Amino acid sequence: MARGRFISFEGIDGAGKSTQHAWLVDRLRAQGRQVVATREPGGTPLGEKLRSLLLAEPMHLETEALLMFAARREHLVQVIEPALARGDWVVCDRFVDASFAYQGGGRGLEWAKLERLAEWVLGSMRPDLTLIFDAPVAVAQQRLHAASNSPDRFEQEQAEFFERVRAAYLRIARENPLRVRVIDATRSMDSINKELENIVATI
Ligand code: ADP
Ligand code: TYD
């Protein structure tokens, strides 16, 4: 049985990542693939409990990073690795790059500490493909406000926080050109759908 493919979706809040995640999952299933659609933080019963805490409870930034990686370890062992071993595709709304972008870029936690956690929790395991949905902070915030859900602990952050998160994502893209593709998320949903389909056809 050939190992499945692992695709992660990233971007600042409001860029349109979850919309495109749902679209790609449907598209792959329509093509007859077995797809595990999942998300971080979350993806397991324990991970979803940690997600509720992470999105609501104030905490020290290192606690936040450790809980993100604790949820990720559970997700990897219980869901992602077994799915890939079965030959399923795993399409994940956020993964390890979000910790570098948010806890590293946004909150200012040392990159080296995050690298040690990533090494411990994942070893050299990374997605086959990471799509970063990139848009100016003002565009993403406008979309978030138009969607008018009650904002969580991250969505309540100021524009400067998201500027740092965005810059960290773009740094990750520059440092990992083989794995990471940056998608211009300011375009119409249709044109992004087409680009996604073309990129995914190459992996
Ligand atoms: P994210 O998961 O990145 O936080 P969402 O996918 O939830 O973002 O999208 C946030 C809002 O923006 C939603 O209301 C969604 O319908 C809208 N949206 C998503 N993609 C686009 C797009 N390409 N153009 C305009 N609006 C969009
Ligand atoms: P997300 O699912 O994108 O939120 P929503 O459902 O509101 O669109 O992600 C929840 C938040 O968690 C998001 O603001 C980013 C944050 N996050 C981190 O800070 N670090 C991480 O490692 C992960 C996976 C998410």
% pLDDT > 90, the chain? 96
- In b/e form, how buried is each residue of 132-163, taking b as 16+ CB within 10 angstroms? bbbbbbebbbebbeeeeeeeeebbebeeebbe
Mind listing the pLDDT tens digit for each residue in 141-175?
Answer: 999 999 878 999 999 999 999 999 999 999 999 99
Relative to the CA of 95, which ligand 2 atom is closest?
24
Relative to the CA of 187, which ligand 1 atom is closest?
23
Ligand that comes closest to the CA of residue 153:
2
Cβ-contact 190, 17 below 8 angstroms = no
Q: Smallest Cα–Cα separation from 50: which of 31, 81, 18, 75? A: 75
Residue nearest to atom 23 of ligand 2 (CA): 98
Residues near ligand 2 with C-beta < 6 Å?
A: 13, 18, 39-41, 68, 93-94, 98-99, 102-103, 152, 154
What phi and psi values does residue 182 have, to the nearest 5 degrees? Answer: -95, 125
pLDDT computed for residue 47 by the predictor: 98
First-last CA distance in the chain: 17
Relative to the CA of 68, which ligand 2 atom is closest?
22
The alpha carbon of residue 125 and the mean position of all alpha carbons in its chain are separated, in whole angstroms, by: 15
Q: How far away, in angstroms, is 47 Cα from ligand 1 center?
A: 24
Alpha-carbon gap, residue 100 to 153, rounded angstroms: 17
Q: What's the token pair of residue 109?
A: 């936690």
- In b/e form, how buried is each residue of 13-25, taking b as 16+ CB within 10 angstroms? bbbbbbbbbebbb
User: What mean pLDDT do residues 71-83 have?
Assistant: 98
Residue nearest to atom 20 of ligand 1 (CA): 16
pTM: 0.98
Q: How far away, in angstroms, is 193 Cα from ligand 2 center?
A: 22
- Three-state DSSP string of 73-135: HHHHHHHHHHHHHHCCEEEEECCHHHHHHHHHHHCCCCHHHHHHHHHHHHCCCCCCEEEEEEC
Alpha-carbon gap, residue 133 to 9, rounded angstroms: 8
Strand partners, 184: 134
pLDDT band at 1 (very low <50, low <70, confident <90, very high): confident
The alpha carbon of residue 166 and the mean position of all alpha carbons in its chain are separated, in whole angstroms, by: 13
pLDDT band at 59 (very low <50, low <70, confident <90, very high): very high
User: What mean pLDDT do residues 44-68 have?
Assistant: 98
